Structure 1
Amino acid sequence: MTDCGCDKAQKDLEEYLRNEICNTRHADITEHLENCAECRDEALVATTLTAVVARACKEAAPEDLRDQVLARLRTEQATHH
């Protein structure tokens, strides 16, 4: 296999991390990441950020905050009708 280069690896990184690219491109990027610390670091940042966002999306707001937001929305809607 040939190294796909930093530009190509970084351009396709998100699809690569979600396993949404063909096997050939996946193998090329895997090889590139094995040999390029800069792109490997970028992949680690992207993976970490995705995990943090996914974790945050699973968390629920405290019930009082939820109630306050809903009450405020109702007030805003009532004043704009």
Structure 2
Amino acid sequence: MSDCGCEKARRDLEEYLRNEVCRTAHTEIREHLENCEACKDEALVAKTLTDVVARACKETAPEELRDQVLARLRAAQATH
């Protein structure tokens, strides 16, 4: 096992969570997170935040709200 260290683990954390790092880096970061409580906590916060944002992006506004927003945009465009 080679520990990549806190600096690398934190620098590459977002890419790691999105599986955008090479296999070697993924293994090194995973092993580091298993052994470093501070980085593990930071990874948990980042993953939780990413999951919440992803769920929020899947929600859709009610049709009535959408129609109101579009009507206001058209009205604003007509006056400019």
- Which TM-score band (shorter chain)? over 0.9
CA distance in 2, matches of 1:7, 1:78: 53
| RMSD over aligned Cα atoms | 0.9
CA displacement 1:2-38 (0-9 Å, x = unmatched): 1111111000111111111111111110110001111
**Equivalent residues in 2 for 1:39-58 (5 A)?**
39-58=39-58
In the alignment, structure 2 segments of 5+ residues that lack a partner are none
CA displacement 1:33-80 (0-9 Å, x = unmatched): 001111111111111111111111111111221111111100000001
CA distance in 1, matches of 2:38, 2:64: 44
2:76 corresponding residue in structure 1 = 76
CA distance in 2, matches of 1:34, 1:42: 12
In the alignment, structure 1 segments of 5+ residues that lack a partner are none
2:30 corresponding residue in structure 1 = 30
Matched residues, number: 80
Superposed structure 1 runs of 4+ greater than 6 Å apart: none
CA distance in 2, matches of 1:37, 1:63: 45
